[in-house]
Amino acid sequence: LKSFQTKTENVFFTPYRANLPRNMIENSMFEEEPDVVDLAKDSTTFPALDPDEVVYEPRSSRLLVRGLGENEMDEDEEDCESSARLLGMSFMNRSSAHRSTSSPYTRQSPPRSCSRPSARTLVVCVLFLVIVVSMTMVLYFLPECTFTKSGCRKQTTPAEPVYPISTNGEMFPWAQLRLPQSIQPLSYELTLNPDLDKMTFTGTTVITMTVRHDTKRIVLHSANLNITKATDVTVLEYKPRQQIAVKFSEELKAGQQCVLTLNYSANLSHTYDGFYNSSYSDKDGNKRVLAATQFEPLSARKAFPCFDEPSFKATFQIKISRKPDYMTLSNMPKAKTTSLPSGLQLDEFEKTSVKMSTYLVAFVVANFTPISKNVSETLVSVYSVPEKKEHTEYALDTACKLLEFYNSFFEIVYPLKKLDLVAIPDFLAGAMENWGLITFRETSLLVGKQSSLLEKQVVASVIAHELAHQWFGNLVTMSWWNDLWLNEGFATYMQYMSLQTVLPKLDIGNLFLDVRFRALEKDALNSSHAVSTEVNTPEQVEEMFDSVSYEKGASILLMLNASLPGDQQFRKGIIQYLNQFSGLNTDTDNLWNSLTQVDVSTQHQNVSEMMSSWTSQKGFPLVTVDRKGDQVTLTQEHFLLTSDNATHTSSLWHIPVTYINDTCSLAPDCKQVFTLKTKSETLKVPQSIKWLKLNHGNTGFYIVHYGDDGWAALIDALINNVNVLTPEDRASLIHNMFALSRLGRVSFRQVLSLLNYMTNETETPPVTEALLQLNNIYRLLDKRQETDFVSRMKVRILSYFGSLMRNQTWDEEISVSKQELRSALLETACNLNVDSCIRQAKALFKKYVESNGTAHIPGDLQRVVFTVAAQSEESWSTLLEKYSKVSYDAEKRKMLQGLASTQDTRRIAWSVSGLQGNIIQTQELPLVINTVSSSFSGYLFAWDFIQENWNQLIEKFPVGSFSIQKIIKSTTSQFSTQAHLNQVQGFFSSLKERGSQMRSVQEALETIRLNQRWMDRNLPSFNEWL
């Protein structure tokens, strides 16, 4: 899945995107430990125990065998647990229910402190011990268990698990959120009959299964499906967990095969998941409907009953009926079409040649047109609505190039005969990697004739990401969502890596650098989580689709690759991993072990040892440099942004520290490596060097503090000559300095002293990073109505960048890097009301309107032009009129951002009407809210809006999903006062199960507190510094 977030969408009209916090869950992994399994299977010890009843309770890393191990719980927990069962609540949900009672905003379980026991506790304990000892003696000395026989037996007989009640009143035979392991599906035959007039569908699912362990029941997933008929069995349903079950009076025996046939009916979904309906207006203005699927992570069960967990891989054979004027697509090529007596056509697809997880199944019923091309044995096609066929060529060309690249890079050829890329008019994510049938948002796949390279960059990177998933995710799949990063971190890393090779003109390196900076900012918060994190509830599964899985995942892979000797070891390792686990499921250790095994160098490096320090704990290190002559002491500590100074963690990382110095700082072989594994170590450098810069190219996932002298030497060097460091290294210094200021380690005066060199800076990475950081502060000051400081800040920004802003042209610009630089500079300039910028933007808009759309505004300047235009009453209306007519989606999106940036409150209210999906598609609402929130007139309105419309919002955008994360961040991240903190806290805690437990809520609160602290610390001295 590719979440829809692009640099161009987010940079300068976005509020404080620096902060996406997150809270910690314990790092324990969701795995069955071997002793757990053995214990359960040892039937002589526990005769009544079904292997599936063994529960590994990961939250507290404790083993629970139902009816046996629960006495380990303390009383509170036990009460909570048993009442949860009485209420039929999920056992896994208990953890969150329990959490919420301790503190609504702390996900972190309170440390079990070893405080000294009180006298009363001691007395109680002694008394308890005496009782236990006397009971034991009584039992020991009694020759037989004579007092009550049943009382004795109770010690060894496991209690029956408490099962919930099915919809029909019968007992539901399964009490957990995860499915039992006793049944393995082998193949599915699906027949689907969608009715696009009535927005309903019927289906038949035939599942062939094998029995792994003797069992009396089959449990699988089904959600919102009305099961009308099943083969000679009664189907029980337990809706809260989206499970159905079939009970048998006789045991199914291990090794047996069985077939289950289920007929059902359902409505096409009105949200963006499951089998959902989508519509668009064709060129004559008629509404056309279509149906498409989005199953990842938990929605295949909304289209057909299935074992909807990634490790239950099976084959699929799919048939779909349709009206003659429609066409259908699915994962595999079409095998045949037959006419039905009803006048409908039935399309049958080939059986999948590979085993796949349910979340990768897909089908589309629409009237799209394709263009196609062959890459070795694979037919690659791009589909769109007929009107947009002319926008598909770039995607086809790019997909073919990338497919060739991956085929040879992974040394495993893409295994299917066809690969379709389909632009779906209504689609929430950026794209979805369904095997053989990748679905996209129109803006992530279609490129207009006049598109700029920056727009092509968006499309190429989404395609590169989804194609990488055909190997990472589809061929080798994570066993459970706790290791989602194995899919997403890899796809994200491969997306940048492949484009650097295949399409170097797209300058993807700047974007990747920016992504790493943003990932650091999010991971610095206490609410962050380990890359590989325990996941239990559906909301927690949704929440895994976040910057840690994607961007930190990609960043640590880059760090690993950069630290391995030679450039082939990493590649060899992943080829080994893909081959070893092809068609299977894996966890993080499998990956590190494969990479460790491929030891092609003489300098052996234990990848497992190094990388687990990055995946099993949250956060990242701050490396502090202390140089005395030729001795350099490096010290690591957890870079933890927290509003109270008390929190210290003892986390240590295995850091491949790279460094360069003034005698050699530009060529790649200047880089030296030192591995810091302990808290503090010393290395030797020549006494004569003037300065050291660590984290060469910012390929490492850590922040560096050089101390007063170290920073002073670097700043001196830059003021003399900016070219002593690469642009990436300059950007890295700027990023680290602002981060240290947020941490409270350097004063804002030190930040400004580094920025003094900016007047000589012209390169994209350092300029865009500095602008982003300064804009963030500017916005915070603006929202607090610190008018005097706001204007001083403006003067500052213009003193650094004024001349660079004036040097920008407003014509077509060829290089991507220059486009990035120009749009960042001009958006800031116009936002600060710089006269010449406003004038130019208005003139360009006027020309565009008068030419009746023939005069083109360069793609990278469209947003700034539309935003400036939208500030006047008349051109806002003109823009709205254009918006309803323009068909090219990337341009349309920028117009929408313009419309939403208005300062007129009535119009702001109009922009968020997208929730109704009339003029503005509902899929664009997160973008609209983001834009509205960044303006002074809009930010309080946006906050009110989400409070008033929360229920409708979470109906469209599920709790925990990327869209909801983004909405929360947009509306809260510019608050910096106690009053706002209280409001935000009050609102989210009132939501309870409708979202109060979300990590993004933690992030929001933490961010506000940090904003508040930064302001308290720095505002008093602004008078002096600014």
Query: Rounded to an integer, what distance in angstroms lies between the CA atom of residue 826 and that of residue 844?
Result: 13
Nearer to Zn ion, 2 or 705 (CB): 2
Measured from the CB of residue 1, what is the shortest distance to Zn ion in angstroms?
4
Least distance CB 11 / Zn ion (angstroms) = 22
Q: Beta strand pairing status for 315-322 and 235-238?
A: unpaired
Q: Is 466 a catalytic residue?
A: yes
Looking at beta carbons only, is 40 or 491 nearer to Zn ion? 491
x/- site string to Zn ion, residues 480 to 499, per CB under 5 A?
--------x--x--------
Return the number of other C-beta atoms located less than 10 Å from residue 958's C-beta. Answer: 23
Q: What type of residue is 705?
A: H
Q: Which is nearer to Zn ion, 488 or 827 (CB)?
A: 488
211-233 as b/e, with b when 16 or more CB fall inside 10 Å?
Answer: bbbebebbbbbbbebebeebeee
Least separation in angstroms between residue 2's CB and Zn ion is 5
Does 432 sit near Zn ion (CB under 5 A)? no
- Least separation in angstroms between residue 268's CB and Zn ion is 25
Q: List the x/- string, 170-189, binding to Zn ion by CB under 5 A.
A: --------------------
Using CB under 5 A, which residues numbered 543 to 572 contact Zn ion?
none
Q: Helix H segments across 545-650?
A: 547, 553-563, 569-580, 588-597, 607-615
Give the separation between CA 917 and CA 923, rounded to whole angstroms.
Answer: 8
Question: Is 92 or 484 the residue whose CB approaches Zn ion more closely?
Answer: 484
Question: CB of residue 465 vs Zn ion: minimum separation in angstroms?
Answer: 6
> Quick one: which segment of 2-10, 105-113, 447-455, 1018-1026 binds Zn ion (CB under 5 A)?
2-10
469 among the known binding-site residues?
Answer: yes
Say whether residue 1 binds Zn ion (CB under 5 A).
yes
HEC per residue, 84-140: HHHCCCCHHHHHHHHHHHHCCCCCCCCCCCCCCCCHHHHHHHHHHHHHHHHHHHHHH
Residue 399 contacts residue 470 (beta carbons within 8 Å)? no
Of 686, 669, 727, 751, nearest in space to 1017 by CA:
751
Site string for Zn ion, 626-665 (x = CB under 5 A): ----------------------------------------
Q: What is the rounded CA–CA span in Å between residue 692 and residue 780?
A: 34
Closer by beta carbon to Zn ion, 19 or else 555: 555
Beta carbon of residue 555, minimum distance to Zn ion (angstroms, whole number): 15
Q: Supply φ then ψ for residue 488, to 5 degrees.
A: -80, -40
How many chain residues interact with Zn ion (CB under 5 A)?
A: 4
Q: Residue 524 and residue 815: Cα distance in Å, rounded? A: 33
Q: Is the dihedral of CA 247, 250, 254, 260 positive or negative?
A: negative
β partners of residue 165: 171
User: Considering beta carbons, is residue 440 or 845 the nearer one to Zn ion?
Assistant: 440
Per the structure block, which two tokens stand in for 23?
């809270």
Q: Which residue lies nearer to Zn ion by CB, 178 or 441?
A: 441
CB neighbours of residue 451 within 10 Å = 20
- Angstrom distance (rounded) from CA 908 to CA 938: 7
Helices 925-934 & 962-972 angle (0-180, nearest 10): 10
Nearest distance from C-beta of residue 463 to Zn ion, angstroms: 12
- Of 1009, 1003, 1010, 974, the residue nearest 988 (C-alpha): 1003
Strand bridging mode 418-424 / 437-441: parallel
What angle is formed at CA 736 by the lines to CA 731 and CA 737, rounded to 5 degrees? 100
Give 162's contacts (C-beta < 8 A, 6+ positions apart).
Answer: 82, 85, 86, 175
CB of 469 to Zn ion, least distance (A): 6
The strand pairing partners of 187, in sequence order, are 208, 315
In this chain, which stretch among 1-9, 265-273, 641-649, 708-716 interacts with Zn ion, using CB under 5 A? 1-9
Nearest CA to 360 among 447, 438, 448? 438
CA dihedral sign, ordered 88, 91, 92, 94: positive
For residue 461, the minimal CB distance to Zn ion (Å) is 11
**Rounded least distance, CB 429 to Zn ion, Å:** 9
Of 434 and 862, the one with the shorter C-beta distance to Zn ion is: 434
Which CB sits closer to Zn ion, 481 or 659?
A: 481
Neighbours of 482 (CB within 10 A): 27
Is 488 known as a binding-site position?
Answer: yes
Q: Is 870 in the site for Zn ion (CB under 5 A)?
A: no
Least separation, in Å, of the C-beta of 1022 and Zn ion?
42
Provide the minimum distance between the beta carbon of 495 and Zn ion in the complex, in angstroms, as a whole number.
9
Crossing angle, helix 453-469 and helix 508-523, to 10 degrees?
A: 70
Contact characters 51-90, Zn ion, x per CB under 5 A: ----------------------------------------
Give 1 or 268: the residue with its C-beta nearer to Zn ion: 1
- The catalytically annotated residue of 350, 455, 466, 827 is 466
Looking at beta carbons only, is 2 or 418 nearer to Zn ion?
2
DSSP per residue over 863-876, as a string? HHHHHHHTTSHHHH
CA distance 453 to 460: 10
| Count of positions (residues) in the chain | 1026
Q: Residue 351: which of 205, 189, 194, 474 has the closest Cα?
A: 189
Residue nearer to Zn ion on the CB measure, 1 or 303: 1
Can you tell me the distance from the alpha carbon of 20 to that of 100, in angstroms, rounded to the nearest whole number? 22
Question: Reduced to 3 states, what is the DSSP secondary structure of residue 326?
Answer: coil
Helix (H, G, I), strand (E, B) or coil at 535: coil
Chain center to CA of 466: 14
Instruction: Tell me the binding residues for Zn(2+).
Output: 465, 469, 488
Instruction: Tell me the binding residues.
Output: 465, 469, 488
- Residue numbers of the site for Zn ion (CB under 5 A)? 1-2, 488, 491
So which residues are the catalytic ones? 466
